[in-house]
Structure 1
Amino acid sequence: MRVAVQKFKSGERYVFLLGDNGLPDFWVTHFVTQKLRMNHAATSIEQYLKSIKHLKVWEKINGRNLLDEIYNGSVPSRDDIKEIKEHCAYQAKALINRPASNVVDMGQFYLSRGDDKPTVGKSQYISRIAHIAEFLHFIGQERVKHLPTAAALFDALDNMKKRLKSDMPKGRLKKGSLDKSGISDDAFQDFLNVARPDSQHNPFKNPVIKFRNYLIVQTFYETGFRCSELLALRISDIGTDIDQPTLSVVRRHDSKEDPRLKEPTAKTLGREVAISKELRDLLNTYIKVHRNNTKVAKTHPFIFVSHKEKNGHYQSGQPLIQRTINHLFNTIKSVNPERFWGISPHFPRHYFNDQLSARIDEVKQAVLEEVKRLEQQGLHQAAKQYARENTITEQRELEIRAALNGHSSLESGRIYLTRTAKKQAHEIRQKMQATLTHKAERGGYVS
């Protein structure tokens, strides 16, 4: 089994789960068409299908076909649900190819019996269970809706879905996720300096690739874009205002012009983000001087392209893919792994929000000082009105973050408030340690 993506003439990316015979699974395709296609991007549908593929592996291990069983009136039991949940906790690599046997063939996979079975993170586990519950519930109802016992089976399927989704671990953080709030601003500034084309530490050799990579890193730095948003940037997204240059994030799902099967799409809302005039001018230079020298680049509108001949569709002039951005960051990190350890393509988004926090704190402090000045002059009513009109509350801060980050929900910005608080707590603790009068001394305690 494998998940495959097909691009239609309309530009739509349609995701299939192909069986061992190379043909699309009928009921999975029906689920995608009827349930997912209208409301989910191809990347989200792909995650659904990977979860369903994991369920199919469980069926092979146990010699089961849950949809056929549901049609015959047998909905997964409590024990079945418990086993499926346990199965969903394991990574795919924990399922080893079963050796060929002339005696019994219970499927192509079995669960490794080693003590160290690799598990998925909490977020992926919850998503898997949710995807599987939705698939079994929807297709189960589709299969039995014309049976005389449909009403009773609908109730049983409702209970199955509730049991599958019950007792889920709380919270959104992935298991083992790293807290990168300890990465200093100086470390990121050093990373940016290494990315400069004229840096003696720049690890790239081709001068055009050096220039392109620097623009990518600088764009991340100035905008706080997600990687998919940067990869989807088009020439027309560069603002034309001479004095106030911008880059625009535009939601364009299922684009005909995008030759990439895995189309990078904006996860957040569309928006205009201010950039420096210097970056605007350098982007235009890159487009006119370097990008236009590649024939393939003239067939699509995307800004950043490949400049190295590669096999297949990754030839010179093709729009970049996520793997190239990951390679860019990993190559720069290799210059100083200890100092740059936590800097990924998503890190500049956190840095952008840290800088936003600093600017908001400055505004808050300026408001307090102005209110204090007005009160000292006896203008108490004016002081109250000024505070009411200019104070940045937590609600207002979340609104500012939503506007700049493209969040559809204000709560999406709360994670950056938490990260900033941790960083401030770390800085305060360091200042506290510097003022301690009783220092630890080596003395005669260690030989």
Structure 2
Amino acid sequence: MLLDTDSGQPLFDATVFTLCELRSRNLASATIEQVLRALKVLFLFCDLQGISLDERLSQGRLLQLGEVDDLARHCRFSIDDLEAQVLRATIPYKSSSSTTVSLLGYRNRSVLSSKTEVGSAGMRLRYIAQYLKWLTERRLLNLPPQHPMFAALIEVKSLVLDAILARVPGGKGRNGLGKRTSLTQEAQERVWQVIGPESPENPWKGAHARARNELIVRWLLGLGLRRGELLGVDIRLINFRSNEVVVVRRADDKHDPRGIQPNAKTLDRVLPFNGDLAKRTQDYIINFRRKFPFAKKHPFLFVANGGRPLGIRALNKIFEALRERCPDLPDDVMPHVLRHTWNDNFSIAMDDSGTAPENEQKMRSRLMGWKPTSKTAETYNRRATERRARKASLEMQEKMVKRTK
């Protein structure tokens, strides 16, 4: 929820919107959080401009064209920067949509203007347009058609929403060189050297941390799991007879004591794992996890020291420690990069086996938990596409050389 720091109460309109438009559709909590962050940008912008959306709607107005342009520009800034701008600005008017701003967090901070990615700015604008549409339609449903403001609100809703969506940045950038890909074979070998429990370069102290973190990397690189799917692995859903694990999506799990519950974003599926990974997983459960009394109170595989389920922040810190210990590794070594790496390794295996592209697409979508018609595979297959394109180009050039000879 978004809270007003003056009263400590949830913002009414944002909360109702979340319950009616998002929660009722059973959207993931991470998606709802993204929507609320976009609304927070809108409310901070309104505070900066002295805009009261309630007053505007009561007058049959919403946003002016210049304000829409300014809003689109503000969607490219980080929330920290926007909050700092609100604190620096002296605005005698305080809108009814005052958002959460912590004065102590910014009193002595020098905030630089940082930009968000183009995709994030576009996502914010879409969510803001969705909220303004709901806000206007809720006002319309409370008015009789003969009300003088009824026609004005219909027209202004159409104009403003079209103007906002027209300013959504294009998703197809021309520069694809800096986009995230996967780890090279050399980088993968380097990771295996470092994470070995007996490796002198291993950055973690304690036998449990070393065994757990190596197993985490093996699960991520071996099964291509998302971060939330990995942290949600349930021991009860691991079948060591058939060497399979069931990946399920369970929002608001009552057995999960974590404040921020990790969750699966993709479809439920059954994934196979080989005997080596099964043996290592059983060894971790018997020789490490079982020694923590608190681990008996929940079914999650990976635990922190003490037995509580491993959280998202703790998982991120594991990869931060790995990057700091080995500066020769790529700067973007993180759980999701290992998912990209799995897809690249899968493409190599399919090339070696001579699998048809259409069958490769179906198998990839099945193992990743995507719908059969999903285009997500293109995102995770960038390095394989580059490799195939490079190979085809060199083959064409070789044919030219032979003709010359």
Task: Give the counterpart of 2:92 among 85, 105, 109.
Answer: 105
Q: Does 1:344 align with 2:344?
A: no
Q: Does 1:324 align with 2:320?
A: no
Look up the match of 2:106: none
Q: Return the alpha-carbon distance in structure 1 between the equivalents of residues 177 and 294 of structure 2.
A: 39
Per-residue Cα deviation, 1:362-389 (whole angstroms, up to 9, x for no partner): 222xxxxxxxxxxxxxxxxxxxxxxxxx
Look up the match of 2:20: 34
Look up the match of 2:300: 302
Q: Does 1:279 align with 2:277?
A: yes
Q: Return the alpha-carbon distance in structure 2 between the equivalents of residues 406 and 325 of structure 1.
A: 22
Deviation of the 1:299 alpha carbon: 1.4
1:45-444 equivalence runs, <5 A: 45-95=32-82, 96=84, 105=92, 117-147=113-143, 148=147, 149-171=149-171, 178-181=178-181, 183-241=183-241, 244-307=242-305, 316-364=306-354, 392=356, 394-408=357-371, 409-425=373-389
Could you tell me whether the CA contact under 8 Å between 2:227 and 2:312 is conserved in 1? Answer: yes
Change in Cα spacing, 1:76 to 1:341, as seen in structure 2 (3 Å) is closer
- Which amino acid in the other structure matches residue 254 of structure 2? K
- Which amino acid in the other structure matches residue 367 of structure 2? L
- Which amino acid in the other structure matches residue 142 of structure 1? R
Identity %: 28
Change in Cα spacing, 1:180 to 1:80, as seen in structure 2 (3 Å) is closer
Per-residue Cα deviation, 1:326-351 (whole angstroms, up to 9, x for no partner): 11112122232123433211122112
Change in Cα spacing, 1:67 to 1:338, as seen in structure 2 (3 Å) is farther
Secondary structure of residue in 1 paired with 2:239: coil
Per-residue Cα deviation, 1:202-221 (whole angstroms, up to 9, x for no partner): 11111111111111111111
Deviation of the 1:177 alpha carbon: 8.3
RMSD of the alignment, in Å? Answer: 3.0
Change in Cα spacing, 1:281 to 1:140, as seen in structure 2 (3 Å) is same
Q: Return the alpha-carbon distance in structure 1 between the equivalents of residues 395 and 289 of structure 2.
A: 49
Could you tell me whether the CA contact under 8 Å between 1:89 and 1:120 is conserved in 2? Answer: yes
Deviation of the 1:360 alpha carbon: 1.2
Deviation of the 1:397 alpha carbon: 2.0
Q: Return the alpha-carbon distance in structure 1 between the equivalents of residues 259 and 346 of structure 2.
A: 35
Deviation of the 1:275 alpha carbon: 1.1
Change in Cα spacing, 1:173 to 1:321, as seen in structure 2 (3 Å) is farther
Per-residue Cα deviation, 1:312-339 (whole angstroms, up to 9, x for no partner): xxxx211111111111112122232123
Deviation of the 1:49 alpha carbon: 0.8
Per-residue Cα deviation, 1:116-157 (whole angstroms, up to 9, x for no partner): 732110111011101111111101211232222334413321
Change in Cα spacing, 1:175 to 1:327, as seen in structure 2 (3 Å) is farther
Show structure 1 runs of 5+ residues with no match: 1-15, 308-315, 365-390, 438-447
TM-score normalized by structure 2? 0.85
Secondary structure of residue in 2 paired with 1:342: coil
Report the structure number with the largest CA radius of gyration.
1
- Which amino acid in the other structure matches residue 84 of structure 1? L
Task: Give the counterpart of 2:8 among 12, 22, 27.
Answer: 22
Q: Return the alpha-carbon distance in structure 2 between the equivalents of residues 60 and 45 of structure 1.
A: 22
Q: Return the alpha-carbon distance in structure 2 between the equivalents of residues 175 and 142 of structure 1.
A: 42
Secondary structure of residue in 2 paired with 1:273: strand
Q: Return the alpha-carbon distance in structure 2 between the equivalents of residues 264 and 304 of structure 1.
A: 12
Q: Return the alpha-carbon distance in structure 2 between the equivalents of residues 429 and 176 of structure 1.
A: 19
Change in Cα spacing, 1:296 to 1:182, as seen in structure 2 (3 Å) is closer
Deviation of the 1:41 alpha carbon: 1.3
Q: Return the alpha-carbon distance in structure 1 between the equivalents of residues 172 and 235 of structure 2.
A: 36
Secondary structure of residue in 1 paired with 2:270: strand
Moved more, 346-355 or 211-220: 346-355
Q: Return the alpha-carbon distance in structure 2 between the equivalents of residues 430 and 93 of structure 1.
A: 48
Q: Return the alpha-carbon distance in structure 2 between the equivalents of residues 192 and 269 of structure 1.
A: 30
Secondary structure of residue in 2 paired with 1:19: coil
TM-score normalized by structure 1? 0.77
Per-residue Cα deviation, 1:275-330 (whole angstroms, up to 9, x for no partner): 121221221222233222222221111111111xxxxxxxx211111111111112
- Which amino acid in the other structure matches residue 4 of structure 2? G
Per-residue Cα deviation, 1:78-130 (whole angstroms, up to 9, x for no partner): 222112111112122333256689x8635699xxxx9x732110111011101
Query: How many residues are aligned here?
Result: 378
Q: Return the alpha-carbon distance in structure 1 between the equivalents of residues 280 and 386 of structure 2.
A: 36
Could you tell me whether the CA contact under 8 Å between 1:122 and 1:174 is conserved in 2? Answer: no
Could you tell me whether the CA contact under 8 Å between 1:55 and 1:132 is conserved in 2? Answer: yes
